[in-house]
Chain A
Amino acid sequence: MSRVMQLTDGKIVTSARPLEDRALVVRRHHLLVRISHWLTIPLLIGLILSGLSIYWASPIYHHGPDPQSGNTDYLADAGTLLCAHMPWLCHDADPAHWVYNHFSLGPFMLAVALRVHWLCAYLFMLNGLVFLIGLGIGGGWRPLVPRLSDAGGGLQMARYYVGVPYAILARRRRVHPGFRTKYNPLQRLAYCSVVVAGFLAVATGWAIHKPAQLSWLTAIFGGFDKARVWHFWLMWFFVAFAGPHIVLVFADGWDTLRSMITGWSTRVTRPKAYEHEH
């Protein structure tokens, strides 16, 4: 007994077994993509923690010395301000160190922070290479390439998300715009730009790490001091990406999270014939 199914993309699937014993899945993410996706998390955390410890040694955003404390760093001011208004959050000997004690390896740790940063940075580049190889052999790069139609679709998605909080409050139904592609245009924009940001973070990193030997690279980013600013704000791009990324994965459901671990997804565009048979 053999059944023939017509899938939407025109492929013919034949099966000798009854339907109840089968599951239809698609391979969503290549193994190398999955591995590098998860490795990015500890590496980025290590890079950010050590990066802020390095930042502490010579903050980009500083002002003239404070007459009382002699402090020049806005991030130190932020800690002082926070501890002045929310003392229950502060157990630090010096409130000016609050930001660094909580979001970096800590102040006065430049030598070790540099070591951690180089370790994570070299692994981050290797990991990026693994990711690109996985995208290449798995064909996963294709859904990430921006298209001409993305401008309209992206706006549609943005409008949807803007309206979601109101829809929840007003208990209204809000219909998610449908796209037949692997990612919707806003997702594609986010995933594509985070890959570009990864490139830029590596490039600006080299620009400020080797401004003498790679002076051409430093010049591309407008010189040593500007390259530091680029590098600093690229960190914020990753932070800004991670927030909605995590929220939306859980909002989207188990299948999306699972597919980044197991690789497969049950979100198959099911053929009409399949549904009729049930």
Chain B
Amino acid sequence: MSTKQKDAAVKTGMRFEFLKRLQDAVSERPLEAIEVDPSSLVRWSRRDLLLFGAGGVATLIVGGSQLPSEVLRRLGLDFYKNDGDNRRLLSKAVRVDDDVSAALYSEHHLVPTYAKSQITPLKNNYNGATPDPSYIPEWQLTVDGLASGLSVSVNIRTLLGSFRLHEQITRLVCVEGWSAISWWAGLRFDELLRVYPPKSDAKWARMESSVNRGPWGNPDPYYVSLDLSTARHPQTLLATHLNGKPLTVEHGAPLRLIAPVKLGLKNIKAITRITYTKDEPPDYWAKRGYSRYDGI
């Protein structure tokens, strides 16, 4: 055996030795047998059975009380018919999750951006009917709740003429679970906030689309709440272009919100009014049981 081979053998041996010692350090210790009165075993068993049984019953009651009434109805357990699905623990969980999302959020953390080759198709996910494009020529954005106390209305030409367009390829994540990578261009919300500063105590933006339609084409204004910290994020755009072309009616022409740090449902299309408020404004989907903050 050459010295080299010997060295290798020693090395392998050492490696095994190390693994063995590591295994000894974490290996199980023999269970220590204890000596007890048979009667105390009976007592312990009774106590634990009662405790775990009570815990099981409590879990069933608490868990069952949080089930949606639709599920209870199907199980034949809907003793309180149509109780409005007001479930305290579930609401608490959503609030906790919203707080966690807000704590995770940072204005300085940028979301991943992608290459043009990674762009995926984006479906028209208007909840109801897609609005008739006849609103587009007359379209104006009204901004309210400003420091000046005035209300400003601008059309798309003015917006495009007075703001620089920024481009980004980001992912839009829908609450339903699908996502799409798209190439967006638009003005930074942050720059709109600088040009038309909100009143000093404003913390929220209420964003509204008056052209939104319900499933039967009925008027169904859409509105979202957006915290101003998210509005100031460098990747939060008031988008005017998708994949290099002006927005089409399906994607919210002529101006929509693109906030990649929020779920898709916050990314309101065809914005007609932005109002800055001190208190949290109502939100279309929060009223329908979804969370309010929707940070991702």
Q: A27-B34, A106-B71, A118-B94 are in contact. Are A57 and B177 (CB under 8 A)?
A: yes
A225 vs B179: C-alpha distance in the bound complex, in angstroms?
8
Whether a CB of chain B sits under 8 angstroms from the CB of A174 is no
Q: Does B296 contact A (CB under 8 A)?
A: yes
Residue in B56, B85, B89 whose beta carbon sits within 8 Å of that of A112 in the complex: B85
A119 contact from B49, B60, B66, B104, Cβ within 8 A: B66
Q: Are A21 and B33 in contact (CB under 8 A)?
A: no
Q: Is the CB of B68 within 8 A of A224?
A: no
Indicate if the CB atoms of A224 and B289 lie closer than 8 Å.
no
- Which parts of A32-70 form the interface with B (CB within 8 Å)? 34-35, 38-39, 42, 46, 54-55, 57-58, 60
Q: A145-B26, A264-B41 are in contact. Are A118 and B97 (CB under 8 A)?
A: yes
A129 at the interface (CB under 8 A from B): no
User: Quick check: B33 and A13 within 8 Å, CB to CB?
Assistant: yes
Q: A38-B52, A105-B68, A264-B41 are in contact. Are A115 and B91 (CB under 8 A)?
A: yes
In the complex, the answer to whether B30 meets A115 with C-beta atoms within 8 Å is no
Taken together as a complex, chains A and B put the C-alpha atoms of A61 and B6 apart, in Å, by 56
Which one of B52, B55, B296 has the highest number of Cβ atoms from chain A below 10 Å of its Cβ? Answer: B296
Contacts of A210 in B (CB 8 A): 101, 104, 295-296
Stretch at the interface among B168-176, B221-229, B245-253: B168-176
Interface size of A by CB at 8 A reads: 65
Q: Let me know if B83 is at the binding interface, CB within 8 A.
A: no
Give the most central of B33, B37, B44: most A CB within 10 Å. Answer: B33
Of all chain B residues, the one with the shortest Cβ separation from A218 is B112
Does A9 sit within 8 A of B, measured CB to CB?
A: yes
A264 in contact with B93 (CB, 8 Å) = no
In the assembled complex, how far is the CB of residue A133 from the closest CB belonging to chain B, in whole angstroms?
18
Among A112, A122, A212: residue with most chain B CB under 10 A: A212
Contact with B along A114-144 (1 / 0, CB 8 A): 1110110010000000000000000100110
Asked if A23 and B38 sit within 8 Å, CB to CB, the answer is yes
Chain B 57-86 interface mask (CB, 8 Å, partner A; 1/0): 001100100111011001000000000010
CA distance A57 to B127 in the complex (A): 13
A209 part of interface (Cβ distance < 8 Å): yes
Contact of A213 among B97, B106, B178 (CB under 8 A): B106
A177 to B109, CA, bound (A): 56
Verify if B29 is at the interface (C-beta below 8 Å from A): yes
Binds B, one of A151-159, A194-202, A240-248, A255-263: A255-263
Known A-B contacts A101-B74, A114-B175, A262-B45; A142 and B29 likewise in contact (beta carbons under 8 Å) = yes
A162 to B93, CA, bound (A): 45
Closest to B94 in A: A115
Closest to B44 in A: A262
Complex Cα distance, B38 from A55, in Å, reads: 52
A-B contact pairs, 11 of them (CB 8 A): A8-B30, A22-B35, A22-B37, A23-B41, A26-B31, A101-B74, A114-B94, A215-B111, A261-B49, A263-B48, A269-B30
Residues of chain A at the chain B interface (Cβ within 8 Å): 7-9, 11, 13, 15, 21-28, 34-35, 38-39, 42, 46, 54-55, 57-58, 60, 101, 105-106, 109-112, 114-116, 118-119, 122, 139, 142-143, 145, 147-148, 181-182, 208-215, 219, 224-225, 228, 258, 261-264, 268-269
